[in-house]
Amino acid sequence: MIGPLRNPRHEAFVRSLLEGKTALDAYEAAGFKRDDGNAARLRRNPKVEERLAELQNEIAGQTKVTVESLIGELEEARLKATDLKQLSATIRAIEGKAKLSGLMVERSKIEISGASFDSCQTAEDVAAEMAESVMLKLASTHSATDEDRQSLINGFLDALEAFGRATNEITEKMVAEVRSRPLGLVAT
């Protein structure tokens, strides 16, 4: 920690940069005569750069966003909404707190005809069951063209990727599992 710069105008320059001013504007705000070259030179000064980084790190530490801080903000919003008798806003704040703390999970339902997911315990089990369902459907389409089969497989892979997004699982792992099965014309 280097602390404030010894030259008060240099310190003022750094603080103006911290406020978002350009080097030229900060240079002038610090009491110097407006000069592009000198402003750029002072901006590249190692002590100025170090002091600016120090102040930026202090600010970042003070404004650190955490789950706890977000829950605290949602609680403040909930209290204000309750005071104002805004039931909808109160409920949204409660839901936000529940989601952040992991007590509430969004769920989606995906239906695939001809498949039974009762015994599935993991996303990989679901992917395997989906693959089995597609293989059975392919076997039952004797008169289908290669193009029809490819379309079915591509549709399945799209559904599998949508399933992965909906369950927040890594879809590449599931798609790799399906692609490794003998499904025929799977595009790579």
**Domains detected in the chain:** 8-62 (1.10.10), 67-100 (no CATH), 123-179 (no CATH)
| Per-residue pLDDT tens over the stretch 151-169 | 777 777 777 676 666 665 4
3-state class of 103 per DSSP?
coil
Q: What is the pLDDT of residue 119?
A: 73
pTM: predicted TM-score of the whole model, two decimal places: 0.39
In degrees, rounded to 5, the angle at the alpha carbon of residue 37 between the alpha carbons of residues 35 and 42 is: 95
Segments of the chain with pLDDT less than 70: 63, 65, 104-117, 123, 138-139, 141-144, 160, 162-188
Do 183 and 130 meet the contact criterion of CB atoms below 8 Å apart?
no
C-alpha to C-alpha distances, 20 to 25, 41, 66, 71, 105, nearest whole angstrom: 10, 18, 25, 30, 40
Q: In sequence order, which residues have a C-beta less than 8 Å from that of residue 127 and are 6 or more positions away?
A: 160, 163, 174, 177, 178
Q: What is the pLDDT of residue 61?
A: 73
Q: What is the pLDDT of residue 186?
A: 45
Q: What is the pLDDT of residue 178?
A: 62
